[in-house]
Amino acid sequence: MKIALLHAYDTRDRRSWSGTVYYIARTLEKYSGEVFHLGPIPRFREMLVGKVINKISQTFFRKNFRYHCSFLLANRYAKVAAQRLEGQSFDVIVAPAGATEIAFLETNIPIVLVEDATYGLLFDYNFDFSNLLARSIYEMNTLQALALKKASAVIYSSAWAARSAIEDYGADPAKVHVVPFGANFDECPPQEVALARKPSDRCRLLFLAAGWARKGGDIAFETLLKLEELGIAAELIVCGCTPPKALVHERMRVIPFLDKNDQRQRRELEQLFMVSDFLLVPTRADAFGLVFCEANAFGLPVITTNTGGVPQVVRDGENGFLLPYDAGGAAYAEVIARLYRDEQRYVQLARTSRAAFESRLN
């Protein structure tokens, strides 16, 4: 097949949509046909205008304008995409995270929209979509409805998101599908890694997240303190963000950023999965959780929150544990302590975590 991959950002960059776009392209090339990249799409003027509108809105109305998902940008994307499609013969357009990109696009080529959430689910749930101007909500809802109508097939990473497309936006259930995303790796870790995993001499918790607050960093830090109270020698490795300056601990190690585009840093990230005992991400908002798939590839159990699309990835007792949204550090520490002290249970959980990766999270 000849596949046009439509995404506003650089689809060859491992950081685009947490690497998902890059690996979707790689997988399509491996199994489906020839991939042509329609992005990145230049949009400097539109982004600048959007930022000005957002600033005015914040100043006068104390509301945010989500300019990344606006009519202004959607028109720009449609115009550029149409130009790049002109004169070409494609079998299908695949648009990852592409609701804004396809909403105004006029084409006879079938479109497959790949998403992890609808805009409606993100309002006042995801921090970046909170306290929005009414006009911004209107534009995003309009773009979402148009995109769902325009797409020939819509693939969501969770049933949570698929239900919203059908119930909130009236999408045809026959064209809405649920396919979980997978771990974003060039090479899958060997199975022996998971089969050999045992609790280490110090309970190492890996908090791997791009945002401290949204991913529950305060709860992760509290978990470290509570484990000490329970007599567990623990260590918290923070990677991808920086805790507030007031939070300091001799057994908290901070790695502000690792670039997946750099091979050395990518290997360092993989090593963190290897040496940790649990991936601890008490997330406050998540549409899916790619990092959970990646952890399970190493047989690393996940301790996280029952929210959003996370239950599509983590199943209690199979590849980790889901705690209630209002659970604090004490509750997380109790679950971790119980598993860490029971080597047989921990080894079994590591094995079933890897099995979850092999069967459904790859």
Does some domain include residue 332? Answer: yes
- First-to-last alpha carbon distance for the chain, in angstroms, is 23
Residues 173 and 209 in one domain: no
Does some domain include residue 165? Answer: yes
> What is the total count of domains within the chain?
2
Domain of residue 33 covers 2-178
User: pLDDT value at position 187?
Assistant: 83
Does some domain include residue 184? Answer: no
User: pLDDT value at position 326?
Assistant: 97
Does some domain include residue 133? Answer: yes
Tokens (6 digits) for 143: 């773009």
Does some domain include residue 7? Answer: yes
Residues 207 and 145 in one domain: no
Residues 118 and 236 in one domain: no
Does some domain include residue 23? Answer: yes
User: Where a domain ends, among 112, 143, 178?
Assistant: 178
User: pLDDT value at position 261?
Assistant: 77
Residues 47 and 105 in one domain: yes
For the chain, 362 residues long, give each residue's pLDDT as a single digit of tens: 999 999 999 988 887 788 899 999 999 999 999 999 999 999 999 999 999 999 999 999 999 999 999 999 999 999 999 999 999 999 999 999 999 999 999 999 999 999 999 999 999 999 899 999 999 999 999 999 999 999 999 999 999 999 999 999 999 999 999 999 999 888 888 998 888 999 999 999 999 999 999 999 999 999 999 999 999 999 999 999 999 999 999 999 999 999 887 889 989 999 999 999 999 999 999 999 999 999 999 999 999 999 999 999 999 999 999 999 999 999 999 999 999 999 999 999 999 999 999 999 99
Does some domain include residue 204? Answer: yes
Residues 92 and 139 in one domain: yes
Residues 9 and 95 in one domain: yes
Does some domain include residue 17? Answer: yes
pTM above 0.75, yes or no: yes
